[in-house]
A and B are shown apart, each in its own frame.
Chain A
Amino acid sequence: MGIQTVAVHSDVDSSAVHVKIADEAICVGPAPTNKSYLNMDAIMDAIRVTGAQAVHPGYGFLSENKEFAKRLTAEGVTFIGPDTHAIQAMGDKIESKLIAKAAKVNTIPGFDGVVKTAEDAVKIAQEIGYPVMIKASAGGGGKGMRIAWNDDETREGFRFSSQEAASSFGDDRLLIEKYIDNPRHIEIQVLADKHGNALWLNERECSIQRRNQKVVEEAPSTFLDPVTRRAMGEQAVQLAKAVQYSSAGTVEFLVDSTKNFYFLEMNTRLQVEHPITECITGLDLVEQMIRVAKGYQLQHKQEDIPINGWAIESRVYAEDPYKSFGLPSIGRLSQYQEPLNLSNVRVDSGIQEGSDISIYYDPMISKLVTYGATRKEALAKMEDALDNYVIRGVTHNIPLLREIITHPRFISGDISTNFLPEVYPDGFKGHQLEVDARRELLASAAALYIAAQLRSQKVLGDQRVPTIPVKCTHWGLCVELGEGCHAMEITKSGDVYNVEVDGGKVEVIGAFNLASPLLPLTINGSDRMLQCLSRDASGMIVLQYLGTVFKLRVLSKLASELNSYMPEKVPEDTSSILRSPMPGTVVAVSIKPGDTVAEGQEICVIEAMKMQNSLTAARQAKVKSVHCKPGETVGEGDLLVELQ
């Protein structure tokens, strides 16, 4: 658009991607967000210094902060977003519901007052329509909550809930509202200008969530028919108009299994998942926002807004999906390669190889968006993209993402906000290998092992003592995977490895590039992208296959046989105590007893030789006791912190 840009950044982000691509960059403070990205004074200064005429607040941070918008307006700087009154109106949960109701937007039917008796409850439930949810007025965490599908259950639920509420919260007041079974989270993108025009840009299906945070989104939704879509769209536009909304915004709805939809809230900013709407409508939302902010009229009419194809977004996070579907992990991206070699793939990220994923900011690595003419195409592309995505140095959630998008329930569109706990009631455990897939994995590991062995024999240059090539076209290997040990026979001709394993035959074709993290193989005729995370001399091979990381150990038959004589070793646990690795002064202690620390989280900082050394937790744990305090001098090996 020919607009000069200024990036603001905190000091740790001084070499971040957004800083590099902006025309100018201003540091607005140190790493903690309240001192930098949330520091309005510093940002206002940056605006003054650079003479910026408008501010795009992005998402998060100050994007829905009416104070910030006000201060900008006061200085005559355009806030690229809605007016302050819209931010304020939609920012308040109760007020927004009242406005929505007034604008004839469906809201969750419920009794706003306190329910006195069981019969009252029945009467109200009948008015609302079953099923209903009876919940403690003071409630939370599922306590004092009952779902009732008929009158009897309502009476019973009333009794239990009031008892539970009384004992849990010391307050037995109850509320009743419509229960939404199998709710889906579907939102409508709206775009409005300052001249009273507003459009709805179709929906985004955001039901796959964990802890109320979206994980996988798609547009359009498999669930909506044109009638429902139109109804939702029109209500969203009504709401936008009701608050004289301008700019891009999102109206979130809960949709039940019979396509009744209810207003949840409105986000008065650009959403993280906006790229999928851009994909299917062909509009650039940020461009539109800037145009609207400038005061231009919308360029499009409602009938101009198409649904072209299908778009899916996976949120790639630096987190461990094996722990509650994702606990943040931190580290340095030692290797990072986005799957941009594929067509119809868009990756929005703010990091690059070498970036630190720190505790200061959201652990999101990127938004991976794939697009296709059909949903099937978009999903297949997503599979490819996830397999081609190289992330090393931090734990990431690609295993989970890939499992979700290939799960039969997801593929059939049978999803709800409870998808993850329903599909993985015992927590996510990674891809469960079927017999064929296991054979393929074992065969791939063996082929890689052989490729590496053969390469070791390729010594170049003149040899004073000639190397005697090991002539071998047939190998007998044993591959350990989990508890099992699989014997296999391999023959090789050219790039074709024929592997006999577990009573089956696998043909692996691949010209192995041993330096590349990606291993493009053709296994039994189908193309597979595996990744090699590590490989060592003792036969350990760590492969990412179907999204999940598997540890294998490849040994020759002889080594495997002799391996049975090797004693089992119990690893020494030193992760629960932290000792000073050097003499020095304690500069800072970042934790206190009772805190829970994540693996790699900073525990304390020791200064020695004018250098600050950050000591980190070896694993996730609760802090048992702290034996040092800032300013103290410690010797090498002194006990600093004990973990539980």
Chain B
Amino acid sequence: MAAFSVARSSCGLINGLRVSFRSLAQVKHGAVSALVPQTNLHRDCRWYSVSHLSVRERIEKKRKAALVGGGQKRIDAQHKRGKLTARERVELLLDPESFVESDMFVEHRCSDFGMEEDRNKFPGDSVVTGRGRINGRLVYVFSQDFTVFGGSLSGAHAQKICKIMDQALTVGAPVIGLNDSGGARIQEGVESLAGYADIFLRNVMASGVVPQISLIMGPCAGGAVYSPALTDFTFMVKDTSYLFITGPDVVKSVTNEDVTQEELGGAKTHTTVSGVAHHAFENDIEALLNLREFFNFLPLSNQDPAPIRECHDPSDRLVPSLDTIVPFESTKAYNMLDIIQAIVDEKDFFEIMPNYAKNIVVGFARMNGRTVGIVGNQPKVASGCLDINSSVKGARFVRFCDAFNIPIITFVDVPGFLPGTAQEYGGIIRHGAKLLFAFAEATVPKITIITRKAYGGAYDVMSSKHLRGDVNYAWPTAEVAVMGAKGAVQIIFRGKENQAEAEAEYVDKFANPFPAAVRGFVDDIIEPAMTRKKICSDLEVLASKKQVNPWKKHANIPL
């Protein structure tokens, strides 16, 4: 079944991309036969197989040919679309002169549909692979080359990717994929599908071992989407990248929906509606530069501690502005990002999924130079409640941090889980359980700060003491309770005439940090201004934390 959908979707996609190939002679069916080119370049290319050249000359020729991919004409077309070439991307992503390329001489092995002809062979095929450095730190990279057969995935292409993934796993270094591919190489048929599966398998094997990041910089459709989906982070480039299972044409024929590529699988859709992508950037350059910045937060593998960068921000800095940030009225909102930015090093917070399920904020920051993962309820959006999307968003982030030794700092202001039929029918019970599961199984240092509300089950979920929180703090504004005063009073004092008085009594008893503090459910009640100082010193101590979950093949998280 999967094979079918991949093949079919690729057709759909190639149709969708027709415009880009229009400059070339077109043959009715299939992608690559339409690509059989007559450019000057390919006349050049033909030289490399001419036997009277010496081996050394042939090496040179092939190297040269590999560097220009599908030729100047296609490079120009790529630029015209506002996209960079595969090599330009690699060059921007990595430190200057650090790229060590592998498999420059690999060619596809297809011999059908005239593919065996020399002019249809491109050294390196449709992907550039190798290793390099980002700020001196090792990384493995593949970058799909849209100028060669539309970046389509041949057996050779897949093999190249698998090779660097295997290497990355052996040495323990992250893999970054720059995706720009029309889909499967249809001429190769099942070989292409096998290639996808080989990559998927490695994605799964590498998951939790080395960080894997996908940056979608062009089309990525059909079965191909499952590779990014399996990686830890998927970033997109606005307006030029698409991710979908089947393109608009197939959608039209199957469900009769009229939808554009952008609406169906553009960056906006995936960062705001579907939650498939974690961030979108304006263009290739911004995306690559931001990816470098993002990379600085990550450890190379699960054997490495979270990286520590030289820090200019004093770890004992007081943050007096936090003393007034929680509003006077407990029903009034404030921006959790204000708290996060004030506490972390240099206000530097890399938010993950900033436009999806905004009632929870997740992202990376540093405390005294050390990478930390931050999770916070966002009172500004839907009161910071937990719902299906925010639970899943939070859970996946927490699991990433736990897998890669990144301490988790949780800021809690949660009124509870979102009620309603939409949520219940959508399965809030099993989705909410994911976040609970993720926090509970995490063995990295966990520090929790209750800024205001911590109501009901949501209190338990949000990295509470009971789920092995290492240090749990409450601000003086914290209210740890089963529910808000009004609801509680209606139950406890049902029928009592003076509800207002009862409410006041409840507020006095429960709407403060004491009930939790006297039971030791929070370790201390701290002045907000001290929060940064406290967290930094706790992290120092917790750096040597060792905690092991019982042996298991793997846990069974409620999916």
A514 touches B172 (CB 8 A): no
CB interface residues, B 267-300, toward A, < 8 Å: 281-286, 289-290, 292-294, 296, 300
Task: Decide: A465 near B133, CB < 8 A? Known: A11-B328, A537-B289, A612-B333.
Answer: no
In the complex, identify which listed stretch (A196-204, A419-427, A450-458, A496-504) lies at the interface while the others stay far away.
Answer: A450-458
Partner of A515, one of B84, B285, B346: B346
B342, A334: Cβ atoms under 8 Å? yes
> Provided the pairs A459-B137, A467-B136, A537-B290 are in contact, do residues A516 and B312 lie with their beta carbons within 8 angstroms?
yes
- Asked whether, in the complex, the Cβ of B331 is within 8 Å of the Cβ of A537, the reply is no
Interface presence of B204 (CB below 8 A): no
Question: B322 to A354, Cβ gap below 8 A?
Answer: yes
B322-358 at interface with A (beta carbon < 8 Å): 322-325, 328-329, 331-333, 338, 341-342, 345-346
Pick the residue among A15, A353, A467, A567 that contacts B283 (CB under 8 A).
A567
The answer to whether B382 touches A537, judged by C-beta atoms less than 8 angstroms apart, is no
Total number of B residues with any Cβ neighbor in A under 8 Å:
72
The segment out of B63-71, B88-96, B495-503, B518-526 that lies at the interface is: B88-96
Within 8 A of B (CB), among A557-613: 558-559, 562-563, 565-567, 569, 581-582, 607-613
New contact pairs (5) apart from A354-B325, A465-B300, A610-B486, CB-CB < 8 Å: A457-B136, A458-B309, A467-B135, A566-B284, A569-B238
A residues contacting B by CB (< 8 A) are 11-12, 14-15, 332-336, 352-355, 455-461, 463-465, 467-470, 472, 513-516, 537-539, 555, 558-559, 562-563, 565-567, 569, 581-582, 607-614
Q: Is B305 within 8 A of A461, CB to CB?
A: yes
* Contact indicator A566/B137 (Cβ below 8 Å): no
Most buried by A among B286, B311, B345: B286
CA distance A452 to B379 in the complex (A): 33
Interface positions of B from 166 to 215, Cβ below 8 Å from A: 171-173
Do B331 and A611 touch across chains, with their CB atoms under 8 A apart? Answer: yes
- B383: interface (CB < 8 Å): yes
Closest 9 CB pairs of A and B: A354-B321, A537-B293, A515-B313, A567-B82, A609-B383, A515-B312, A458-B310, A611-B383, A467-B136
| Residue B42 interfacial (CB < 8 Å) | no
Contact assessment for B172 and A558 in the assembled complex, using a CB-CB cutoff below 8 Å:
no
- Residues of A near B238 (CB, < 8 A) are 569
Q: Report whether over half of chain B's contact residues are helix, strand or loop; otherwise say mixed.
A: loop
Contact B321 A538 (CB under 8 A): no
Q: How many angstroms from the CA of A12 to the CA of B327 in the assembled complex?
A: 9
- The smallest C-beta distance from A394 to any residue of chain B, in angstroms, reads 13
Contact A559 B309, CB 8 Å, known A353-B321, A610-B484:
no
Say yes or no: A459 contacts B338, CB within 8 Å: no
B382→A609 contact, CB < 8 A: yes
CB distance from A515 to the nearest CB of B (A): 4
CB atoms of A611 and B415 under 8 A apart: yes
How far, in whole Å, are A324 and B342 apart by their CA atoms in the complex? Answer: 33
Residue of A nearest to B284 (CB): A566
B300 in contact with A562 (CB, 8 Å): no
Name the residue of chain A whose CB is nearest to the CB of B311: A515
Q: Does B369 contact A (CB under 8 A)?
A: yes
Q: Is residue B251 within 8 Å, beta carbon to beta carbon, of the partner chain?
A: no
Question: Please, which residues of chain B bring their CB within 8 A of the CB of A459?
Answer: 135-137, 307-309
Q: Do the beta carbons of B92 and A559 come within 8 Å of each other?
A: yes
Q: Are A334 and B382 in touch, CB under 8 angstroms?
A: no
Q: Do B303 and A467 have beta carbons less than 8 Å apart?
A: no
Closest B residue to A583 by CB, please name it: B382
Say whether, besides A456-B296, A465-B171, A539-B289, A565 and B84 are in contact (CB < 8 Å). Answer: yes
Tell me whether B138 is interfacial, beta carbon within 8 Å.
yes
B430, CB-defined interface residue at 8 Å: no
Q: Are B91 and A470 in contact, CB atoms less than 8 angstroms apart?
A: no
The residues of A that contact B308 with a CB separation of less than 8 Å are 459-461
Contact of B135 among A15, A470, A610 (CB under 8 A): A470
Contact A469 B136 (CB under 8 A): yes
Distance A468 CA – B314 CA, assembled complex (angstroms): 27
Complex CA–CA separation, A611 to B290 (angstroms)? 35
Counting CB contacts under 8 A, is B380 at the interface? yes
List, sorted by A's number, 17 A–B pairs whose CB atoms are closer than 8 Å.
Answer: A332-B338, A334-B338, A334-B342, A352-B320, A455-B310, A456-B135, A458-B310, A464-B301, A468-B133, A515-B314, A558-B91, A559-B289, A565-B79, A610-B484, A611-B331, A612-B329, A614-B332
Find chain A residues with CB under 8 A from B310 CB.
455, 458, 460
